[in-house]
């Protein structure tokens, strides 16, 4: 959510930002906010004047009573009562306008960074850089579920019977590999100076609306029936929510946290053959990182965060590239975002395995995350980034470490988490 002062002082800039995001249907919201804000401030001024008048009259009543001027005192009391009635109505109107303004402001997108390329959707995202040589071996790489099945590592049929499509059982060495990657990612981030955290897996609606747009919430979140609780789609939601309503000391910044959690997503819509198996699922596990920092430091942190993901994937012998997300591919709260994509030797192309985002002060404004300044408090900036999100990440791992005989190489950094083995061997 942006600062309403920006709309008051530079509505054209806000409208231009909306156009850059190809959301022209939201242009009218700017004028609607301006109109409501004008009425809101008029009622706010009226309320202030009524309270001043009431205080002035009330101070006279005691003096008149002491002077024995009871009739004059009662007359003023009557005026005060009338002011109180007017004030109740004025405060009600002020509150109603405030609610309407907030509802609309939540729909107006955050101001994107000047460096963001302009484009309608993810097809116009821009490649930044490749890391590692994308190799296609001279033997066939099977589909990831076929690899897992030969390793006796997945059972999708049982999962369908138990929970339906979009779920899975990981078994044996593949399940161990899954957990090992998460453990390695945890320690990797701890070694970068991040504090490890296991957050709540459910959050209240006021946190949900603080961390994402209404459109994202409807498409992503599972609601707990009968309660004001949602299952998290990523631990970023809980982690940023941890700072809700807090005033953080400058000396405590930056707050750098890395978190493990299961994640739950609706994943609405039909998907192609490449997204069957464990690519797009309702339940998965993830290692995430978030930063709460000074506004002037957020873009330096942005570059650090995505570079950590690149470094981690390269340590596992997986070639990756980074893509700059264009304006039309940015969710409403995002000021700048890039995707990290892993190489698929089977498909001979890259696919998304993580995303890094600078929200600037959009989440902080919604959640009330402030920094204690010397003269006045101000909003912090928040960022988030995927460390790893298996089992999707397993697809990249298995394909890039697959041998012709069906075995899977275990990179050196992962062997301590896999009991020292250097290969996973097919089960006959």
Across the range 206-213, mean pLDDT stands at: 90
pLDDT score at 323? 97
Q: What are phi and psi of 267, to 5 degrees?
A: 50, 65
pLDDT digits (tens, 9 = 90+) for 82-93: 888 899 999 999
pLDDT digits (tens, 9 = 90+) for 289-306: 999 999 999 999 999 999
pLDDT digits (tens, 9 = 90+) for 324-364: 999 999 999 999 999 999 999 999 999 999 999 999 999 99
List the single range of 41-45, 61-65, 75-79, 186-190 with lowest mean pLDDT: 61-65
pLDDT digits (tens, 9 = 90+) for 303-326: 999 999 999 999 999 999 999 999
Is 283 within 8 Å of 264 (Cβ atoms)?
Answer: yes
Q: What are phi and psi of 197, to 5 degrees?
A: -145, 140
pLDDT score at 268? 56
Residue of higher predicted confidence among 390 and 396? 396
Q: Is the pLDDT of residue 122 over 80?
A: yes
208, two tokens: 């949900």
114, two tokens: 């000047």
Enter the pTM of the model.
Answer: 0.90
96, two tokens: 């109603």
Q: Is the pLDDT of residue 267 over 90?
A: no
Residue owning tokens 């570059």: 303
Structural domains of the chain ordered from first start: 4-105 (1.10.287.40), 122-424 (3.30.930.10)
**Residue 28: pLDDT band by 50, 70, 90 thresholds?**
very high
Q: What is the 3-state secondary structure (H, E, C) of the chain?
A: CCCHHHHHHCHHHHHHHHHHCCCHHHHHHHHHHHHHHHHHHHHHHHHHHHHHHHHHHHHHHHHHHHCCCHHHHHHHHHHHHHHHHHHHHHHHHHHHHHHHHHHHHCCCCCCCCCCCCCCCCHHHCEEEEEECCCCCCCCCCCCHHHHHHHCCCEEHHHHHHHHCCCCCEECHHHHHHHHHHHHHHHHHHHHCCCEEECCCCEECHHHHHHHCCHHHHHHHCEECCCCCCEECCCHHHHHHHCCCCCEEEHHHCCEEEEEEEEEECCCCCCCCHHHCCCCCCCEEEEEEEEEEECHHHHHHHHHHHHHHHHHHHHHCCCCEEEEECCHHHCCCCCCEEEEEEEEECCCCEEEEEEEEEECCCHHHHHHCCEEECCCCCEECEEEEEEEECCCHHHHHHHHHCECCCCCEECCHHHHHHHCCCCEECCCC
Across the range 231-257, mean pLDDT stands at: 95
Between CA 175 and CA 168 the distance in angstroms is 11
Burial 341-372 (b: 16+ CB within 10 A, else e): bbbbbbeeebbbbbbbbbbbbbbbbbbebbbe
Residue owning tokens 């999707």: 392
């Amino acid at each position: 959510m942006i600062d309403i002062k920006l709309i008051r002082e530079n509505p054209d800039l806000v409208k231009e930002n909306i156009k850059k995001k190809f959301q022209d249907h939201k242009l009218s919201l700017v004028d609607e906010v301006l109109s409501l804000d004008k009425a809101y401030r008029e009622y706010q001024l009226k309320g202030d004047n009524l309270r001043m008048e009431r205080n002035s009259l009330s101070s006279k009543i005691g003096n008149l009573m002491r002077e024995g001027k009871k009739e004059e005192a009662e007359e003023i009391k009557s005026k005060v009562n009338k002011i109180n009635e007017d004030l109740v109505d004025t405060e009600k109107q002020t509150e109603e306008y405030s609610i309407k303004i907030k509802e609309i402001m939540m729909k107006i997108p955050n101001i994107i960074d000047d460096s963001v390329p302009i484009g309608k959707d993810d097809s116009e995202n821009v490649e930044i850089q490749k890391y590692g040589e994308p190799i296609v071996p001279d033997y066939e790489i099977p589909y990831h579920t076929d690899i897992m099945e030969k390793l006796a590592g997945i059972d999708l049929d049982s999962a369908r019977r138990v929970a339906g499509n979009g779920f899975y059982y990981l078994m044996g060495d593949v399940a161990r590999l899954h957990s090992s990657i998460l453990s390695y990612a945890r320690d990797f981030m701890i070694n970068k100076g991040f504090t490890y955290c296991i957050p709540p897996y459910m959050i209240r609606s006021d946190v949900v609306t603080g961390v994402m747009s209404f459109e994202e919430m409807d498409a992503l979140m599972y609601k707990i029936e009968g309660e004001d609780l949602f299952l998290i789609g990523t631990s970023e939601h809980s982690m940023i929510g941890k700072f809700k309503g807090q005033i953080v000391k400058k000396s405590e910044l930056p707050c750098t946290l890395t978190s493990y959690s299961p994640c739950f997503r609706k994943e609405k819509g039909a998907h192609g053959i490449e997204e069957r198996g464990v690519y797009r699922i309702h339940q998965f596990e993830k290692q995430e990182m978030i930063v709460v920092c000074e506004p002037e430091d957020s873009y330096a942190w942005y570059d650090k965060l995505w570079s950590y993901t690149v470094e981690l994937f390269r340590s596992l012998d997986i070639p990756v590239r980074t893509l700059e997300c264009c304006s039309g591919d940015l969710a409403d709260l995002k000021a700048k975002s890039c995707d990290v994509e892993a190489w698929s030797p089977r498909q001979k192309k890259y696919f998304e395995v993580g995303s890094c985002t600078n929200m600037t002060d959009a989440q902080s404004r919604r959640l009330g995350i402030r920094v204690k300044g010397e003269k006045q408090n101000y909003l912090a900036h928040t960022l988030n980034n995927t460390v790893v999100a298996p089992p999707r990440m397993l697809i990249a791992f298995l394909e890039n470490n697959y041998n012709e005989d069906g075995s899977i190489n275990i990179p050196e950094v992962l062997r301590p988490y896999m009991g020292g083995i250097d290969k996973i061997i097919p089960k006959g």
